[in-house]
Structure 1
Amino acid sequence: MAIKRKMLKGVKDFIYWFYVQYMLVTCAFDMEPWEKVVMHSFTATTLTMSVFTVYLFIPTRLNHAFQFFLHVMCGQREPLLS
């Protein structure tokens, strides 16, 4: 049980450290509350859109690269995966 608490404390400390670094890098400590909301909303939207784009397009691009290199290395005429 003590190990679990220690691990949770470590995770909590890391999240707090990451948040403080984010606030320092973006200079959010010096902003008005409404400016923080706008900046955090923009950052969250950008991060969400980036993650979604990576999730949607990277597997397709990797499949195309795999097919290309398979064709170059083995001389396959037809793709194995559709």
Structure 2
Amino acid sequence: MAFKTLTEYLAWLYYQYLLCTGIYVLEPWEKSIFNSILLLVMAMVAYTSYVFVPIHVRLALQFFSGVFGGQTESAVTLMS
């Protein structure tokens, strides 16, 4: 499938989005509400991932390093 311009490709992607979600049957004001809620949820997921995932990854690494015999932070500071 050859696209002449970027706008044609983006229009095709938007059309695919409409077909896959089934919102092509909605009225324009219903589409805007649906898209707004979807955008809001995606923004909240991205923000939550940015804030909380690094904390959980750090805690998991600390836990598994202790379980599998890694040195704790206090032992490292005593050696320095």
The residue that corresponds to 2:29 in the other structure is: 34
Compare CA radii of gyration and give the structure with the larger one: 2
* 1:40-70 Cα distance to aligned partner (Å, 9 max, x none): 0110001100111111110000000000011
Q: Does 1:23 align with 2:18?
A: yes
1:60 to 55, 60, 76: 55
> Greater relative contact order: 1 or 2 (C-alpha under 8 angstroms, separation 6 or more)?
1
Q: Deviations over 1:20-48 (max 9, x none)?
A: 22211221211111001110011000110
* Normalised TM-score (structure 1): 0.70
Distance 1:42 1:60 in 2: 27
Percent identity of paired positions between Structure 1 and Structure 2: 36
CA RMSD of aligned residues (A): 2.3
